[in-house]
Amino acid sequence: MSKVLMKGNEAMALAAIKAGCEAFYGYPITPQNELPEYLSKHMPLYNRVFVQAESEIAAINMVYGAAGAGARVLTSSSSPGIALKQEGISYMAGSELPGVIINVMRGGPGLGGIQPSQADYKQITRGGGNGDYYLYSLAPETLQEAVDLIKESFDIADYFRNPVMIAVDGLIGQMMEPVDLDREVPKWDLKPKTWIADGNTKNRKKNVINSLYLDPQDLEDHNMKLKEKYDEMRANHQRYEFINMENAEIVIIAYGSVSRIARSAIEILSEKGIKCGILRPITIFPYPKKAFSKLPLTVKNLLVVEMSTGQMLDDVIISNERGLPISFFGRVGGIVPEVEEIVEKVLEIVGGEKHE
């Protein structure tokens, strides 16, 4: 199909509609406002639900309710709002409810700023709320990838009966790029939702949506069952991309918008005779640990680049089986790393330009 030029927030909204999202609940916050604004106009046209809730806490609890009733449901917000949603997200994971949450990250902590950031990495990849749980978390780098992953994410959420987090930054929310909204995405093998509590027990037993297990043994069993899901995600559903990896001497590890900036950097580096590859995590939970054992033996250095003071850095340290030296470059507060800064950092690590 032909491509249309769309703003990131709007393209993500339309992707959710295409994925069969039946309901959206949210609360305004910059830089994701165009997403709910788009849905406020378009969801009614499809006879679907749009509610501007009174707060993010209310919004995520509406999501919890709708997911329990079996609906495909979405919420979106930005960092301070996602922080408020943690209560409901934890309840969803505990009650094994699917749902998609889009976080268009901005700078923090506290009220922070409204410019692009990746400072919620730890919150996203460690669960975020109380209890022992994880979110399947996807970090697209282009609008096309964001659209494709959002379309797939509703299936992934249903498959695992677990919330899925789409982690993007203000850049992706605000930029316009041509996208094809009708591209095929993988279909997951989904079982019918026999567990829903939608008040329709004529032909089935009563169902209960709940995360309360007062008996410690029951709660341990429940936690172990959840762990099996997270283990399956880790074992079989890591996603990443290798870019320019053949004979690379140094590898930049970056996700989301930052990996695009790294792509520009490696072009300049190659002109300077430096073989620099990129390892781009697409899932940030599960972290693509497997990629580290597949790095070519030519790699002598790793450089982590993030819009944070070094959050994914910890995952790289955990995954660095070969014990390669790790350097870090980060910009924060809404400042986006510049291509030249990354080039300079790489040159500093490899000891300058190389000309035969």
Ligand X SMILES: Cc1ncc(C[n+]2csc(CCOP(=O)(O)OP(=O)(O)O)c2C)c(N)n1
Residues engaged in binding ligand X (CB under 6 A): 27-29, 56, 80-81, 84, 111
- Per partner kind, with CB cut-offs from 5 to 8 A, the member of ligand X, another protein, none near residue 267 is another protein
Pairwise CA distance, residues 82 & 156, whole Å: 20
Question: Which C-beta is closer to another protein: that of 45 or that of 297?
Answer: 45
Instruction: Give me the least distance between CB of 171 and another protein, in Å please.
Output: 5
Q: Tell me the chain's radius of gyration from C-alpha atoms.
A: 21
**Measured from the CB atom, is 82 or 138 closer to ligand X?**
82
Q: Which residue, among 147, 154, 10, has the nearest Cα to 70 in the 3D structure?
A: 154
Q: How far is the CB of 77 from ligand X (least distance, A)?
A: 7
| Residue 332 binding result from ligand X, another protein, none, given CB thresholds of 5 to 8 Å by partner type | none
Sheet holding 163-169, edge to edge: 49-52, 23-26, 73-77, 99-105, 163-169, 136-138, 283-285
Of the pair 3, 290, the CB lying nearest another protein is at 3
The token pair that represents 149 in the structure block:
């992953």
Smallest separation (angstroms) from ligand X to the CB of 123: 14
Binding partner at 339 among ligand X, another protein, none, C-beta below 5 to 8 Å by kind: another protein
Q: Starting from the edge strand earliest in sequence, which strands make up the sheet with 276-281, in order?
A: 240-243, 276-281, 250-253, 301-306, 326-330
Select from 15, 36, 66, 112 the one that contacts another protein (CB under 8 A). Answer: 36
DSSP per-residue string spanning 114-177: SSB--TTHHHHHT-SSSSS---EEE--SSHHHHHHHHHHHHHHHHHHTSEEEEEEEHHHHH-EE
76-115: which residues touch another protein (CB under 8 A)?
80, 110-111, 114-115
- The token pair at 97 is 């409810």
Question: How would you class 252 by CB atoms within 10 Å of its CB: exposed for 0-12, middle for 13-18, buried for 19 or more?
Answer: buried
Q: Which is nearer to ligand X, 106 or 161 (CB)?
A: 106
Q: Which stretch binds another protein (CB under 8 A): 10-18, 53-61, 181-189, 206-214?
A: 53-61
Closer residue to ligand X (CB): 111 or 317: 111
Quote the CA–CA distance of 247 and 256 in Å, as a whole number: 24
Site string for another protein, 127-166 (x = CB under 8 A): ----------------------------------------
Q: Which residue is nearest to ligand X (CB)?
A: 29
260 makes contact, choosing from ligand X, another protein, none, with CB < 5 to 8 Å by partner type, with another protein
Residue 167 CB: number of other CB atoms within 10 A? 27
Q: How many CB atoms lie within 10 A of CB 123?
A: 21
Size of the site for another protein (CB under 8 A): 40
* Contact positions vs another protein (CB under 8 A): 3-5, 27-31, 33, 36-37, 40-41, 51-52, 54-56, 80, 110-111, 114-115, 170-171, 174-178, 257, 260-261, 263-264, 267, 336, 338-340
